Every structure is written in structure tokens, then in C-alpha cells.
Amino acid sequence: MNLLQVLEKINSHDIILASKSPRRQHLLAELGVKFRIAADVEIDETCPAGMDPSEITLFLARKKAAQFRERLHKKSVLITADTIVWFQQEVMPKPSGRDEAKHMLRRLSGHIHEVYTGVNVKSFTKEAAFFSRTAVHFKELMESEISYYVDVFSPLDKAGAYGIQEWIGYVGVERIEGSFYNVMGLPVQQLFQKLVEFVSEAPQEDKSDP
């Protein structure tokens, strides 16, 4: 099939994105995928002890998908995702306020951290999950840069207190290793391939980043 046929086949399904994130919604739309938003997912994000970061994101993405068990029909394809910032063996959550946001950026300054996204794709008959990992290298940030970013952009809705697509990413990120779009919250290259698999007749084996 050519690309137009592939997109037509994907868009003949009821694609559901269970996410309130405007960044995930934008990225999925940019793929050419027609979808509807189901943003009513509320879960307890407590995870079993001892999980590595990839396991955390996959566990939470699957947990979100489980909330829709009774709401899928034969043409449904549900997408759920969870993204974490992993630094010094711990998850950096969304900051509770501006002071905490500045504290988080001071910690990330001059260091490498990792961003993991777990994605779960679920239809009426199939379910598969994968994850993506990106290493982000931050330069040493000046205090004035941190204050400017937090005060102007107010990144309180972002894990790790920053968005790579915003000003701080332009001036602070020296390089990345892995998918840029994963850091935004959705590894779209992998997701597109998974959607192609899901709407084809023969399911294929799940694959994840090494």
C-alpha cells in the first residue's frame, strides 16, 4: 500500500487518544491521523516498587488503557501514553509551583537526564505496548535563564519543569540522543508503525527501543 492508502485505512478506524496533553494531540494530528480525544482518564499513578523507568511508563500507559475496557468496539483503536523525566535514579514529577520548577531546572543544569515514554495501543481484540528513551544534555543554565523561563512560560504542567520545544530547549539543550518527539511526549515514528500493524490483518510482534 502507498501512504495515502495506509492513512485511509488507519482513518477508517475510530482512533481514540486518551490524553489531555495538547502536545500529544498536536503530534498525532501532524501524522495525518484523524482521531477523537477521550481526556477523562484518572488513575492512581502509584507503581510497584523496583520498576525501572521503562517499566513505569508501560505500567501507567496500560493502566490508563484498562479504564476503557468496556468502551471499545470493533473499529476502535485506543492510544494511551505516559512520559517521565528520569534523573539520578528517580522520577522528576510536574512541579507544584514556581519555586519547585526553578529547583528542578537547577538540578538538571549541566547534566544528562533521560526521558521515557510508554505507549499502549489497544483495539477490540489486540493490545501492544512499546517505549522510547531519549537522553537530553543540558548546558549549565544561568540563574537568570531559569528565572526567565519559569516566570514567562510557567512550565508547571510539564514533568521536569520544562518543554524542549519551548525557549529553554532552544538555549539550554546542547544535544539529544534519541527521538526529539519522545521528549515532547509522543514517539510518533514508532506509534505510526504500530498503528499500521493494528489496522492490518496480521498482527506483528511488539518491539521496543533497546
Q: List residues with catalytic annotation.
A: 82
Count of C-beta atoms within a 10 Å radius of residue 207: 12
Could you tell me which of 61, 95, 90, 57 has the C-alpha nearest to residue 78?
A: 61
Longest dimension (CA), the chain: 55
Our CA angle for 84, 156, 151, nearest 5°, is 135
Collapsed DSSP state (helix, strand, coil) of residue 75: coil
d(C-alpha 131, C-alpha 30), whole Å: 20
Rounded CA-CA distance 33/35 in Å is: 6
